[in-house]
Amino acid sequence: MTQFANEVLAVTGGASGIGLATAELRVARGGRVVLLDFSAEQLAAASARLGERARGVPTDVRATEQLAAAYSSIAEREGRLDAVVNCAGQSKPVPSATMSDADWLAVVEVHLNGTMRSCREAFELLRASEGAIVNLSSISASHGMPMRASYCAVKSGIEGLTRELAVEWAPARIRVNAVAPGYVRTALVENLIAQGFYAADTIIRRIPMGRMATPTEIAEAICFLASRRASFCTGAVLAIDGGMSVEGNWYEFGIDPSL
């Protein structure tokens, strides 16, 4: 497929999970991808997996100078940038009453501050291409989740940032949208399940579609929003959660899901 013929996508947190799944779809459809990720080891493996249409740049989204250097390298090597997907993230479930400043700031720095830094450093390249940004929010932006105060806060913040940039940067012809996934079977989620932070069976009972999403299902929505097919869509937050955010727990009361 040549949907993204030679267009260049940058993905923070691109060496694993939803970021890598998005990169795989873009490459499969003719695009080029630059993966920005903290882990040099995962970057090397992901770049090898994606082939010659991808390269990795070790980048810590907590460091402005590293993001600036990464986008400068895209200007020099690829010569253009058509879209940015901000996927870098981490989860640190901690009881709110005993959460340290360090625990709080660790999540804020990567998710919210890292997203802002990435958008800002990509601005000039995206203005030149009339490009797009897709940020990663979550169902937790609109739903309380115990022991995830920092995570809920930053995802709400990312949605606010998305709407603000969509309005401010519309005259520059830069579209800014977000996706808000529910539970996705990424390596991160599998690890949280293994550690006992997530009870998979309980979660799935709350999802009307009866399962978690795959990373590729989220990537499909991201690729749409990052494409020119979504040319009049900006400031939107697309929920991709199998109906979890609207189901209201009705299934817990014995309603036949086949009706």
Q: How far is CA 92 from CA 4, 87, 188, 253, in A?
A: 35, 16, 11, 32
Instruction: Kindly report the length of the chain.
Output: 259
Q: Which of 151, 183, 198, 251 is catalytic?
A: 151
Q: How far is CA 242 from CA 20, 49, 237, in A?
A: 21, 29, 15
The β-bridge partners of 36 are 12, 57
Neighbours of 55 (CB within 10 A): 16
Largest CA distance in the chain: 60
Q: Do the beta carbons of residue 117 and residue 61 sit within 8 Å? A: yes
How far apart, in whole angstroms, are the C-alpha atoms of residue 157 and residue 166? 14
Q: Collect all residues with Cβ–Cβ distance below 8 Å to 177 and sequence separation of at least 6.
A: 132, 133, 134, 135, 162, 166, 225, 230, 233, 234, 235, 236, 237, 238
User: Residue 71 catalytic?
Assistant: no
Catalytic (active-site) positions: 151
